[in-house]
Chain A
């Protein structure tokens, strides 16, 4: 194993199709027009010395090291800023160039510490490399003059010296080592789009400054790591490298956080991760990362991880550590007993959107083939199940239509109910880059999210709708498109059913759906909405991106259909730059859905009632499958309370914290006789579990994740599972204990079974993934290289289906008791229930869930910034601290759900999407009032959790003297 060394071409690739030929050091090379001489040289295998250039940012031309000579041109132009030209003859190494470069390096080194041996970047320092490359042997200027290096000089404090900034938990900034190449500043601007860094001062005074001469932590920095990656020296350095040293090998793998699915190089020393560095060839992230994927992997070795299986009789007992064999035998015995006693349908399972495709496939197989029922569900129930239903109805397949690269061809973006700068930060950076290049943006969101207006970007339209009125707003957009004749008739006639379109068009054209009529209850100014509709319909390639603000409503599925209608009506589907793009929440929620995690469908979205589909699996598995749909998560809990559902196997999912109406979830879990939790930590659900099976992290196993663009990415094992078994092995051994004759030696064999049974995965093998890096399904005989853009020539279902979308107000209404609307969301530094990110230094950014409230609402209630407030709904009440902000409109409050101490879901109700039972997280009528302490619920909860997490120590059982 070796360290993967990516080639740095110095400047970004040119997208030009026309090529030019030139000669560099006697080599003739053909490159796209617009390529820099530096990049052309690198492509010819000639490395021109450089410091300020790197191919993640545009050329800058400041270091004067990459100079070349070009025949027929005067002087020594910088190769990074000089584009190639036909017939150009370039010399990269001449006597004149050597002298200039050595002179430049002498100046750099005269103001740089000479502590290479003890420097954290030793062996990975471009300044060191360049000193070697130019043959620097002496620094004629000496080191005694003015400098930024020495804290004290001539017995006095050196005013130019600045101490190391160690405020960020993950990296340090050492101004003494800075060569002011501006790579970090440009990475922050061009790659991340945050503009947190600048160069302050002029000439010799210049230095990198976060914000206005602030520390990194107090600046706008979002800790994405792009600056650290760009830094050629140890000025910006990962603390993990400082602590451990340079890595010796690396493995490409896939981040286990959000649905963007970034590719990373896990840089290792033995089995210890030194750092995670975004991989340039990763097709989802193109070399970028966020604070979670780049830095927040420390949970993998956190002391809270449970490494031994545990069992207990009652949930009030302390846990008892047992062997794996005993745990498996216990679960098998209990599950069989429950089925014997209460019926075959008395048990079920939940697959994990955090686990691999192979692992979710095995869990649903265990339920269908082993339990003999279809009581399997997954966390997509509470996030994107309406996407599955809505897009399935409209297009015939339930997934995003594009790849992330598609945004490079987009002219207008509609963003609905998503906050990518927090939830999907790496995609947000790509989007922001496009916005800075002139792409227009329409934001439909009750909150004024960062993309509405922040550094160098501004949305053309922000439609700040009242939570719960998505369908009314989208139908009003359709109204404008139809009544103003902005639809694409040719596309509709060719690709959709014209009579269905006519029916739909007459429906949306009803004056009741006009922006003027709906403004009364949506709160969206009619003129603004009309402007947005015109822009989307006529602004060129229009793409819709959406998140859980669309799906998590009682009309979630209807909203997804309304989105599909808009895309079809304007012809914005079936080519790069357009489409309908759900931003999926968890790393493998797309995959979990693909793998047949829903109770009504087998892998590949095929309904369980189809005998032909069942036949495929029945033959392979040698069992008869139940043709009836199984229970969904909320129904499992209902059935548990009713007494017909008694046991559950939950892999990598914390339903007690993440699912709505916590009291209902608690009642359901309490009613069960055997709750098996398979997880990394004693999560909240485990407080009600009878068996705990320790899980493994993404670093400890092989498999695949499928991201929001349907991309199947490899997850590669870089260390042995601390708990002894990878998660797929745990399910496998559990199945074997239940008497199933399963045999898999490696996850690749599970993928082979998926491919053999699921047409959209037919050609997927680990070998193909090795060759191609990743593929997007469908990947089969018709599409051997996968499918970046779907519905190119026709919809999967044949003709696209227009569906009427009548707005129905949710029954969750504000009133005198609960006058405010609560909506929930996430924040950049934390992930989902926080089980992972709370166990990293990310808590430095978000140590608790806070309630955002408008100044007007706060003042009415006598609430000041930072006050503890009680948040109550008809479901329950909790206490948390208030943040007063105009990001939320008057009448709306907002919080996150990352911390179990807050339990935001005590507040949310049991209202659900009409089609999929996806909970209505985004609308809850609440009241906010000053509080003087945690609520009774929080206190009881804390007491129960503490009691439930006790683990019996064997020595404690010894009798006392």
Chain B
């Protein structure tokens, strides 16, 4: 999908968790993305954020370390 749309959807998730108790926020974002984003979406997320995290909410950036990084090109897997 377009990088803008991906960024938008990641930020949408962060917006929800921003209102949750602080301890659950970053964990919540990471867990949600791990559970519902297929590997090629996560691959794209890392492709973008490895370059620059500009435009991502800080909570998404903070969650990156807890998001599973797919091992190889997902199209082949």
Contacts and interface: CB of A to CB of B under 8 A. Distances in A.
A867 to B, nearest CB: 36
A238 B15 CA distance: 56
11 contacts: A343-B75, A344-B77, A507-B19, A609-B34, A631-B40, A632-B38, A642-B1, A644-B75, A806-B16, A806-B19, A912-B9
Given A600-B36, A629-B38, A804-B19, A635 B76 contact: no
A644 B1 contact: no
A345 B75 contact: yes
Contact of B74 (A345, A554, A632, A805): A345
Interface string A796-837: 000000011110100000000000000000000000000000
A148 to B, nearest CB: 67
B63 interface: no
Interface in B9-34: 9, 12-13, 15-16, 18-21, 32, 34
B35 A628 contact: no
Contacts of B32: 915
B13 A915 contact: yes
B66 to A, nearest CB: 14
B38 A635 contact: yes
A672 to B, nearest CB: 14
A467 interface: no
Q: Which 6 A-B pairs have the closest CB atoms?
A: A806-B19, A638-B1, A914-B12, A343-B75, A343-B76, A644-B75
Contacts of A916: 36
Contact of B15 (A557, A808, A917): A808
Contacts of B62: none
A343 B38 contact: no
Contacts of B41: 631, 635
Nearest to A629: B38
Nearest to B44: A642
The secondary structure that dominates the A interface is loop
Given A803-B20, A915-B13, A628 B38 contact: yes
Contacts of A325: none
A345 B40 contact: yes
Interface of B: 1, 5, 9, 12-13, 15-16, 18-21, 32, 34-41, 70, 73-77
Contacts of B12: 554, 914
A134 interface: no
A808 B14 CA distance: 12
Interface string A331-352: 0000000000011111000000
B47 to A, nearest CB: 12
A917 B37 CA distance: 11
A394 to B, nearest CB: 13
Interface in A604-618: 607, 609
B38 A914 contact: no
Given A914-B12, A914-B15, A915-B16, A609 B1 contact: no
Contacts of A638: 1, 5
A599 B38 CA distance: 9
B72 to A, nearest CB: 10
Given A343-B77, A344-B77, A644-B74, A629 B37 contact: yes
A806 B35 CA distance: 22
Contacts of B76: 343-345
Nearest to B14: A914
A554 B15 CA distance: 11
Nearest to A643: B75
Contacts of A642: 1
Nearest to B33: A629
B74 A503 contact: no
Interface string A771-805: 00000000000000000000000000000000111
A641 B1 CA distance: 8
A826 B56 CA distance: 38
Contacts of B20: 803-804
A507 B36 CA distance: 28
Interface in A90-133: none
B3 to A, nearest CB: 11
Given A638-B5, A639-B40, A629 B16 contact: no
Interface in A645-675: none
A805 B9 CA distance: 18
A342 B38 CA distance: 16
A433 B1 CA distance: 49
Contact of A644 (B18, B35, B40): B40
A509 B9 CA distance: 29
A631 B38 contact: yes
